[in-house]
Chain A
């Protein structure tokens, strides 16, 4: 089963507001990835984090890899309507040569006009 706790489960925000979501794990991960999934589509990679403490931005998105390697957060600034969707965190271990992703249960984001 899944090992990641992602919160909040859902969020309703006004357009222009900032939003923050996070993931925690009982396991240490080597890499954290954040994806966005729209209805009927596959997840789209937003940000990848490779080192503990790393802070990375991609436009209005900022994500951090926690120092303990057991958590990560994603911030979205100045939200717009197209930010609506489900955001997933994913942690990655190296099992031999395989790079399997363990996903959180997702944060459903709704942006109100």
Chain B
């Protein structure tokens, strides 16, 4: 069974740029959730995707957007990067309707 994978592991961007992060869900899982984890804090829910559509969203502005593909993999896109967007971005996969979510190793984004 393949776990959740994310790419890249690290990324450095400049304020105002755009970034795309990628996630492959655990085999058999059809739902992907994205979380932002600032240093020293717990993860915060950004949004969830199921059947290639956004299925729920946390308190994040529209410049955070996502996609889910037919193979259940997903992308997180962030436009007009701000310094406060520097964080660890975590992807979690699950079965639709299941309570347990399984996390990938994350992508560390640094905005300068």
Query: How close is B25's CB to chain A, nearest CB, in angstroms?
Result: 13
Q: Which residues of A contact B100 (CB under 8 A)?
A: 33, 45, 48
Q: Which residues of B contact A45 (CB under 8 A)?
A: 100-103
Q: How many A-B residue pairs have CB under 8 A?
A: 80
Query: How close is B105's CB to chain A, nearest CB, in angstroms?
Result: 5
Is B74 on the interface with A (CB-CB < 8 A)? no
Interface size grouping (class) on chain A: 20 to 34
Q: Which residues of B contact A97 (CB under 8 A)?
A: 50, 55-56, 96-97
CA distance A4 to B92 in the complex (A): 20
CA distance A89 to B55 in the complex (A): 23
Q: Which residues of A contact B45 (CB under 8 A)?
A: 100-102
Pick the 3 closest A-B CB pairs, nearest first: A98-B56, A103-B42, A42-B103
B residues within 8 Å of A by Cβ?
4, 31, 33, 35, 40-45, 48, 50, 55-56, 58-59, 90, 92, 94, 96-106
A residues within 8 Å of B by Cβ?
1-2, 4, 6, 30-31, 33, 35, 40-45, 48, 50, 88, 90, 92, 95-106
